[in-house]
Chains A and B, each alone.
Chain A
């Protein structure tokens, strides 16, 4: 009989580059807990990322993984899922990677609805490049690059995911790892594209996010499958509530059928 897989079985010997107190540690442990809970074998799982602090995560989990280029995690993940549909494909990354340079892929991955779970560790800042505003940063947040703040209204990840056609829209918090693990579990179980925004504090460039621990509240509603209701709730929300906001079964991208013809036959088509 096979032994039960434990969270530590997914651990690699590579030391994370993350700062002490970084929220990304919580996502890493929530993820390994969930994989162990689901008893997914290492080789069944592929974790795909782009560039940024949180995008370093695949190297810290002993499964298949790909640490690609900035912004393209979802494209890599989609290609892998299409070529090898039996893999459990999880894309991970940060807010800059997913919503700025990768924003186009985010929308189209939601539309395409392949069975991929996408976890964005959102700290409202570019950490790896040492503190510039990201798409989710408040307009008045001052940095060296934006001495007067960006002046730009923050990107709304949940609203965009919903309107782009995602069938699973959730928000978690690094300060609540077991709640986060539950959301990841639901996301992996969901058939189709699952989007989980994780509030993941950056103690180095956004120390004020330590207050999230007191500010974050549970999502005050039950999960709905009504996109209109979900949209109005998301737009009324201040961004610091967590839960499974919207879930709906939508047609999922399906892999192609087995071969039904031979190349020799296809070549007959060129005969005069």
Chain B
């Protein structure tokens, strides 16, 4: 099976795909020019749906303007957890048509889709109608003008509430939660607008009401960036130094006040060269330290990472990937920094590379990364991305036992302290400044066990072997990958593509095709043996990722972790991977083999 990227599946494949049962969920998009309140409307809908007992996922997309640009929110709701966008949208609420074509690719519509818009907004752009979506134009802005403090977006939200079966009570709670800080008048006006909107009678194309699950369990509403920050705090990070960069800055803005509450601190650095070296200094000082950045920043940090490797100073770098290279697409997602994270460092520089599998998993993977970095006195690069970081999830709270692991520290009684002493697990006790009797100078120069600079071959070999062995010999347990299902088809994936692959597997299984998903959380060091074992009986092996060149695919081949028959499904960002496209690709391949 070697389908190429441009291969068009034959029509029978398409038929088969069409009959695949999909996860029952509702997808809603909201678009509008700056100031139209599209994002606020989305946040309120997400809140209301979560109060009504549903799970939800909300991603966002924006034009390049700092203020006043067009924006879109893309949401998906279900009675069971959802972590990614669907193939298509059921409803588009368009506040206006301002540059909406920009989002046409991101919001696929079909004949079952309903467009709700303002009757005064003018003609609907043709791309939105080309697949037969049905449009209902309502007097949203006109009616808003007749209400005191009325805003068209609140009327639109009222229409969505009716379509989705939300109660006035849920809407009122959502308004208070979202706008409460702005005062009673704003809240009352918004509620009045929503309730007026709920009086519109809109003939839908389908029933959009979901069956709610029990609401007994408390749910969280969290973004991937907040989740990465939280995981880091859970792991013990108490010092952060960083330079602002989209789409990672939200991690820092969430952490800054919370670090303060926990007795930690955050330095805004003058650049990323400073931030990486500042956290090396902080960690040398004994405090678990991290920074957050995106591709351009990670590029600048690479020399510093080598210093942390050689001096065995634990640091964590949260890299929230965006479209690259260079400035690329700062506001949109792509999984294309894997090569940099794996291979960027000069010299032989063993380090850890991890990736969270979905927004909720950002908490776990972030905490685990800190824990590993501290235990192994190693660099950990965590590859999140914009589609995780700047999206929100309504989810069950994280449910796992934390990691109560700390770095090995030399105490004052240590005799003849040697910072880089060879030990059984190749990890040596780190002395913290302030501790008497264990003074040493950390160094980026190669050194001997004591830490004295050395250019001797024997010292270089010994210390390189030490740094390599401490990562290679460590038992990472079961967390290296999330493995699900079994059968002849294997999907190997990483990071944010994992949730999509999970959905692909569900659809394939529902049509009788047994599928296994191996979602890699620990990318380096790679558990080659375990991965080989998991896929050895699979006839179709597809490596799924969101970049152009198939970075994971080539890495797995280089490590001889996958056989020659494995194929690559790699698509660049910023459009999200669609489960339906991957299902088609796999079925085409399977049938080509038959």
Q: Do residues B270 and A104 form an inter-chain contact, with CB atoms below 8 A?
A: yes
Tell me the smallest distance from the CB of B286 to a CB of chain A, in Å: 6
Tell me the smallest distance from the CB of B371 to a CB of chain A, in Å: 15
**C-alpha spacing A66/B238, complex, angstroms:** 21
Q: Which candidate, B74-82, B200-208, B217-225, B494-502, is the interface stretch facing chain A?
A: B217-225
Tell me the smallest distance from the CB of B227 to a CB of chain A, in Å: 9
The yes or no answer to A4 lying at the interface (CB within 8 A) is: no
The yes or no answer to A11 lying at the interface (CB within 8 A) is: no
Q: Do residues B261 and A59 form an inter-chain contact, with CB atoms below 8 A?
A: no
**C-alpha spacing A267/B436, complex, angstroms:** 38
**C-alpha spacing A155/B50, complex, angstroms:** 60
The yes or no answer to A242 lying at the interface (CB within 8 A) is: no
Q: Do residues A263 and B262 form an inter-chain contact, with CB atoms below 8 A?
A: yes
Q: How large is the interface on B (under 10, 10 to 19, 20 to 34, 35 or more residues)?
A: 35 or more
Q: Do residues B221 and A43 form an inter-chain contact, with CB atoms below 8 A?
A: no
Q: Do residues B443 and A75 form an inter-chain contact, with CB atoms below 8 A?
A: no
Q: Which candidate, B271-279, B316-324, B380-388, is the interface stretch facing chain A?
A: B271-279
Chain A residues, Cβ within 8 Å of B397? 267, 270
Q: Do residues B289 and A272 form an inter-chain contact, with CB atoms below 8 A?
A: no
The yes or no answer to B470 lying at the interface (CB within 8 A) is: no
Q: Which candidate, A29-37, A79-87, A214-222, A244-252, is the interface stretch facing chain B?
A: A79-87
The yes or no answer to B234 lying at the interface (CB within 8 A) is: yes
Q: Which candidate, A117-125, A181-189, A253-261, is the interface stretch facing chain B?
A: A253-261
Q: Do residues A259 and B280 form an inter-chain contact, with CB atoms below 8 A?
A: no
Q: Do residues B222 and A270 form an inter-chain contact, with CB atoms below 8 A?
A: yes
Closest to B223 in A: A270
The yes or no answer to B444 lying at the interface (CB within 8 A) is: yes
- 1/0 per residue, CB under 8 A from A, across B224-252: the answer is 00100010011000110100000000000
The yes or no answer to A44 lying at the interface (CB within 8 A) is: yes
Q: Which candidate, B303-311, B484-492, B524-532, B554-562, is the interface stretch facing chain A?
A: B303-311
Chain B residues, Cβ within 8 Å of A48? 281
B residues 29-56 near A (Cβ < 8 Å) are 47, 50-51
Chain B residues, Cβ within 8 Å of A266? 230, 233, 258, 261-262
Q: Do residues A72 and B220 form an inter-chain contact, with CB atoms below 8 A?
A: no
Q: Do residues A256 and B273 form an inter-chain contact, with CB atoms below 8 A?
A: no
A residues 81-140 near B (Cβ < 8 Å) are 81-84, 86-87, 104-105, 107-108, 112
- Which of A59, A64, A105 makes the CB contact (< 8 A) with B274? A105
- 1/0 per residue, CB under 8 A from A, across B506-517: the answer is 000000000000
Q: Do residues B278 and A82 form an inter-chain contact, with CB atoms below 8 A?
A: yes
Q: Do residues B284 and A76 form an inter-chain contact, with CB atoms below 8 A?
A: yes
Q: Do residues A66 and B436 form an inter-chain contact, with CB atoms below 8 A?
A: no
Interface centre among A14, A59, A79, A82 (most CB of B within 10 A): A79
Chain B residues, Cβ within 8 Å of A112? 267
* Given A76-B284, A258-B263: A272 touches B218 (CB 8 Å cut-off): yes
Tell me the smallest distance from the CB of B406 to a CB of chain A, in Å: 15
- Which of A66, A260, A271 makes the CB contact (< 8 A) with B220? A271
Q: Do residues A82 and B282 form an inter-chain contact, with CB atoms below 8 A?
A: yes
Chain A residues, Cβ within 8 Å of B127? none
Chain A residues, Cβ within 8 Å of B405? none
Q: Do residues A271 and B452 form an inter-chain contact, with CB atoms below 8 A?
A: no
The yes or no answer to A69 lying at the interface (CB within 8 A) is: yes
Closest to A69 in B: B307
- Which of A44, A59, A77, A83 makes the CB contact (< 8 A) with B286? A83
The yes or no answer to B590 lying at the interface (CB within 8 A) is: no
**C-alpha spacing A267/B229, complex, angstroms:** 11
Q: Do residues A64 and B270 form an inter-chain contact, with CB atoms below 8 A?
A: no
Closest to B313 in A: A66
The yes or no answer to B212 lying at the interface (CB within 8 A) is: no
Q: Do residues B267 and A78 form an inter-chain contact, with CB atoms below 8 A?
A: yes
Chain A residues, Cβ within 8 Å of B262? 259, 261-263, 266
Tell me the smallest distance from the CB of B178 to a CB of chain A, in Å: 12
Closest to B50 in A: A272
Tell me the smallest distance from the CB of B134 to a CB of chain A, in Å: 32
Chain B residues, Cβ within 8 Å of A108? 270, 274
**C-alpha spacing A104/B453, complex, angstroms:** 28
- Which of A43, A44, A255 makes the CB contact (< 8 A) with B265? A255
Q: Do residues B433 and A46 form an inter-chain contact, with CB atoms below 8 A?
A: yes
The yes or no answer to B94 lying at the interface (CB within 8 A) is: no
- Which of A82, A270, A271 makes the CB contact (< 8 A) with B267? A82
Chain B residues, Cβ within 8 Å of A71? 273
20 additional contacts, CB 8 Å, given A68-B277, A80-B281? A14-B453, A42-B436, A43-B435, A59-B443, A64-B440, A66-B284, A66-B442, A67-B444, A75-B275, A76-B281, A80-B282, A82-B278, A82-B281, A87-B285, A112-B267, A256-B263, A259-B262, A270-B226, A271-B220, A272-B51
Residues of B at the A interface (CB closer than 8 Å) are 47, 50-51, 218-222, 226, 230, 233-234, 238-239, 241, 258-265, 267, 269-271, 273-287, 289, 303-304, 306-307, 311, 394, 397, 431-445, 452-453
Which 4 pairs across A and B sit closest by C-beta, in order of nearness? A79-B281, A79-B278, A65-B441, A259-B263
